Amino acid sequence: MWLVVWRSGWHTVWSAVEPELKQRADDPDRVGATFGVGFDETVMNSATRRRRCRYITAAVDTATGQVIDVFDGRDANDLHKWVSAQPRGWRQNIRVVCCDPHEGYRKAIRALIAQGLLPAGTRLATDPFHIVRLANQAITRARQRTQQQTTGHRGRKGDPLYGIRKLLLMAAERLDPRGWQRLHQALKAGDPCDEVLECWQAKEQTRSIFKTTNPQTAVQRLDDTIAYCSDPDAPPELQALAGTLNRWHTETITSVATATTNARTEAANAKIKDIKRKARGYTNIGNYRLRILVATGHKPHQNTPTTRIRTHKTPLKRE
């Protein structure tokens, strides 16, 4: 008896499934009315000596987490081109656009609203996670700078500030009594000018902005944080943070007022990275886009039902 093994190359298999994938991706009923859209970029190809880093941007429904589409680039022109190519009826339903504190995205959204390609009442919101992340980065940079000034070297095991590098980034309400004790002792020993302490306090003030659902309260807390960071005697890291908070003031308050975040957009980006990791990378943006839309471009109620696993039952013993 002869056993015949057929070996097919990737191009042969892909040519067979590509028409079906394109049909599903281009289905007009795949994406319904969208009221909130989130944009976030991810790396498609890392930089090498012969090419620059290549980015792709995912457009995600902020309410459902459905990946609407993926397009090449992350600049203002790339986003403007993609939105302009979408059906007018779909664009007119958008009410909120959420993105990271990326000037390219904001510039494109403002231009689209001014040109009438998006409704005049469309509001732009920034992601709370990334705003708080900027405050965490200010702590880290102030800690590293203070470490160099006081010890003359990078953080090492046994250095006071290096030992609390994770405690400084932890939410205040999550610290237990032992954590508070370690924090106070390390700051007292390794922060002679209290600059790291000031950055930590600014971080907690930044977090408090998103702990309320009242826009007026959020405005007051944001203004107080900007004033605190803008003090002439404040560390340079806080002054840089104040500039960013001031530039994104309106978008930050919109995030609180509309309860809009990029959480589902970030979750979709994690799935996109998993797709690239399983395939060991992609070089063709068209193939990558089809694979992403088939895997993550469905609505929540279109999930494939999971197979029920039969549990092992112990047979009855005969008496």
- pLDDT tens-place values along the chain, 319 residues long: 455 555 667 778 778 888 888 888 877 778 888 899 999 999 888 888 888 898 999 999 999 999 999 999 999 999 999 999 999 999 999 999 999 999 999 999 999 999 999 999 999 999 999 999 999 999 999 999 999 999 988 888 889 999 999 999 999 999 999 999 999 999 999 999 999 999 999 999 999 999 999 999 999 999 999 999 999 999 999 999 999 999 999 999 999 999 999 999 999 999 999 988 888 888 888 888 888 888 887 765 555 555 565 555 555 555 4
Q: What is the pTM of this model?
A: 0.84
- CB distance 30 to 24 below 8 Å: yes
Q: Which two tokens stand for residue 301?
A: 């109620």
Distance between CA atoms of residues 229 and 245, nearest Å: 10
What is the Cβ-side half-sphere exposure of residue 296, based on CA atoms within 13 angstroms? 28
- How far apart are alpha carbons 161 and 165 in whole angstroms? 6
Task: Please check whether residue 9 is in contact with residue 241, taking contact to mean a CB–CB distance below 8 angstroms.
Answer: no
State the residue for tokens 């429904």.
61
Q: Which CATH number fits domain 32-45+53-127+262-300: 3.30.1490.20, 3.30.420.40, 3.40.50.300, 3.30.420.10?
A: 3.30.420.10
Structure tokens at 159: 């250095």
pLDDT value, residue 1:
46
Predicted pLDDT of residue 296? 81
pLDDT at 41 (0 to 100)? 92
Sheet holding 36-45, edge to edge: 67-72, 54-61, 36-45, 96-99, 123-126
In the chain, domain spans: 32-45+53-127+262-300, 129-248
Q: Which residue has the tokens 């908070």?
A: 245
